[in-house]
Amino acid sequence: MPALPAMRCLLTYMAMKQSTMLMQIYAHVRRVIFLLCVGLLLFHLQGSATAQTASNSTVSGRVVDSHDDSLVGAEVELHNASTGLSQKQLSNGLGQYLFAHVLPGEYDLRIQAPGFR
């Protein structure tokens, strides 16, 4: 039976081809998993770095007189003692003020209003 050795040869070739294809698929899956792990690691590290640099806050309050009435238009100054930089605002119609994006540090708050010392 001369067809039997040819059949064995064909089956051996097909098995080797399937094995090669499986190895290629396995290598591809390994690359995809590796890239996903690297991406997740970079995403996690990016979040940590952002969290460490986003350290600012707000300073807010209300300017009132001795009768607890709001002082409208009072000049409120926030002065950073270490840098010497200042921010100024006027209190609103309810006597409120708000300084946003204030960096950590030591500050002085000064309030001036006409008729008050």
Q: What is the pLDDT of residue 79?
A: 94
Domain ranges in the chain are: 1-54, 57-112
Q: What is the pLDDT of residue 97?
A: 94
CB atoms within 10 A of CB 75: 15
Q: What is the pLDDT of residue 80?
A: 92
pTM: 0.52
Q: What is the pLDDT of residue 40?
A: 74
At position 28, the amino acid (one-letter code) is H
pLDDT tens string for the chain (117 positions)? 556 666 677 677 777 777 777 778 878 878 887 787 777 777 766 654 444 555 788 899 999 988 888 899 999 999 998 899 999 999 999 999 999 989 888 999 999 988 887
